[in-house]
Every structure is written in C-alpha cells, then in structure tokens.
C-alpha cells in the first residue's frame, strides 16, 4: 500500500525518530511504513490521521481508484 | 540528516519498558549460561553438552528460567508496537514450523537407526535461531 507519510513528515520537518515518539512506536516502524514494507494496523492508521489532521484515505492509497464510491 | 536529528531525546515510557524487558531476558540468559559453563568441566562450550548437573543447580536454573522469562516477556509484550509484534508473531510461526518439520523427521530416522537419538536442546536451539533471524529481518530490513 502506498502512503504519503514521508512527504507529510518532511513538510513538518520531523525526523523519523520524532514521528515515532509522537506515535509512541519505534523508529523502525515509521521507516517500515514509509518504505511500504509494513501496513500499519487500523488503530495506528487512525493515530496517524489524527496527528496529521487528515482522513486516513488521504495518507494511504490502496490503489483502488474510486472504491469509496462503489 | 533528517533521520539522525534529536538522537539524545529522553526515552519514552514505552521504550523504557522495552529496554527493561530485553535487558532482563539477557541478564537471565547470561547469568544462567555463565554459571552453567563455570560449573562444567571439559573445556569448550560445555554449556551445550548433556553432562549431569547437581540437583540444586538444576532446580535453581529451572526456576530462574521460568520466572525470568515470564516476567521479561510480560514486560516486552506490554512495550512492543504493531510493527514489532507482527515481526515477533511471524518469527514465532517460522520457529514453530522449523520444530514441526525437524522433530518428527529426526525421530522417525532415529527409529530406523538412520540418525542418533533426537536432542531436545538442539531442536530448541535450531528453532530459536530461525526465530531470531526472521525477527531481525522483519524488524530491521
């Protein structure tokens, strides 16, 4: 699953470690999400959405265009 | 570099619990291994031999292993995040598959006199090695 985490983090000038602290996860977890090696759980995805103040679907993209209109 | 800034920030409570769980497990393992090695004779890594132990030492080691591991694992599982929990679960599954493939195979080969008697600690060490490799790969790749 693609995501904009790296861009959103860069826009706030946060390091991976800073973002990890804000999410209360390890830096490796942030890195794994950013590089697409790991898809976060739903609670962690909601945490990210609250932190960046945007809907989950604006951060993550499962590649299915218009699936929310089905 | 962005990723290396603020490396010296104080540890969060979760990271402190994580370090405590891993540290306690390491201490238990190192203390048990060192005492066992010291008490054995023959040189080399006799810790991996099946040489007899005194009942007192064996009882103490068994209690320390069980209590130490239960406490450290309880701390560890309260501290891990989603990502590491997933790595831990897959590593555990890989270790279990290693055991389920190797133990019965070794056992039937032994019954046909094609292999020596199965060694529980060798099976444990093999499964643990697979567990560690998979966990490290999934967490740090």
- Give the percent of chain B with pLDDT over 90: 48
Residue A30 belongs to a domain: yes
Question: In this complex, which of A15, A26, A33 lies closest to B5 when CB atoms are compared?
Answer: A15
CATH number, position A30: 1.10.260.40
Domain that holds residue A27: 2-53
Do B12 and A38 make contact, defined as CB atoms within 8 angstroms?
no
Average pLDDT over residues B94-116: 97
Distance from CA of A66 to the nearest CA of B (A): 29
Quick: pLDDT tens for A33-54: 999 999 999 999 999 999 999 9
Q: What are the residue ranges spanned by the domains of chain B?
A: 7-79, 81-141
Do A25 and B7 make contact, defined as CB atoms within 8 angstroms?
no
Average pLDDT over residues B24-41: 79
* pLDDT value at B6 more than 70: no
- Nearest CA among B19, B127, B85 for reference residue A44: B85
Beta bridge partners of A2: A61
Question: CA dihedral defined by B67, B69, B71, B77, rounded to 10 degrees?
Answer: -160
Distance from CA of A4 to the nearest CA of B (A): 17
Quick: pLDDT tens for B78-88: 889 999 999 99
Q: In chain A, what residues touch B90 (CB-CB under 8 Å)? A: none
Q: Which residue of B has its CA nearest to A23?
A: B81
Structure-block tokens of residue B2: 């962005």
Q: In chain B, what residues touch A32 (CB-CB under 8 Å)? A: 83
Quick: pLDDT tens for B39-72: 655 555 556 677 787 888 888 888 988 998 899 8
- Nearest CA among B133, B26, B18 for reference residue B87: B133
Task: Judge whether A45 and A56 are in contact, CB under 8 Å.
Answer: yes
Q: How many domains does the structure of chain A reveal?
A: 1
Handedness of CA B9, B12, B16, B18 (dihedral sign): negative
Do B81 and A16 make contact, defined as CB atoms within 8 angstroms?
no
* pLDDT value at B104 more than 90: yes
Number of Cβ atoms within 10 Å of the Cβ of B31: 13
Residue A63 belongs to a domain: no
Name, in order, each residue with C-beta under 8 angstroms of B86's C-beta and a sequence gap of 6 or more.
Answer: A38, B138
DSSP A24: T
How high is the pLDDT of residue B12? 82
Q: In chain A, what residues touch B139 (CB-CB under 8 Å)? A: 28
Which H or E element spans position B57?
A: helix B55-79
* pLDDT value at B10 more than 80: no
- Give the percent of chain A with pLDDT over 90: 83
Do A24 and B9 make contact, defined as CB atoms within 8 angstroms?
no
| Farthest CA pair distance, chain B | 62
Do A26 and B84 make contact, defined as CB atoms within 8 angstroms?
yes
Residue A69 belongs to a domain: no
Do A38 and B83 make contact, defined as CB atoms within 8 angstroms?
yes
């Amino acid at each position: 699953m693609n995501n904009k985490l790296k861009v959103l983090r860069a826009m706030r000038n946060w390091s991976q470690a800073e973002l990890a602290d804000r999410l209360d996860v390890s830096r490796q977890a942030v890195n794994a999400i950013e590089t697409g090696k790991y898809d976060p759980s739903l609670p962690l995805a909601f945490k990210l959405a609250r932190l960046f103040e945007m809907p989950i679907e604006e951060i993550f993209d499962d590649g299915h265009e218009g699936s929310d209109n089905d | 570099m962005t990723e290396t800034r603020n490396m010296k920030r104080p540890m969060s409570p979760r990271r402190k619990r994580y370090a405590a769980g891993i540290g306690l497990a390491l201490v238990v393992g190192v203390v048990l291994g060192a005492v066992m090695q010291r008490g054995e004779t023959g040189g080399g890594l006799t810790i991996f031999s099946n040489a007899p132990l005194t009942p007192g030492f064996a009882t103490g080691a068994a209690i320390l292993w069980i209590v130490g591991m239960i406490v450290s694992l309880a701390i560890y599982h309260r501290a891990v995040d989603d990502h590491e929990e997933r790595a831990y679960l897959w590593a555990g599954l890989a270790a279990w598959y290693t055991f389920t493939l190797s133990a019965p195979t070794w056992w039937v080969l032994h019954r046909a006199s094609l292999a020596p008697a199965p060694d529980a600690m060798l099976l444990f060490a093999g499964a643990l090695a697979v567990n560690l490799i998979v966990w490290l790969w999934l967490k740090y790749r």
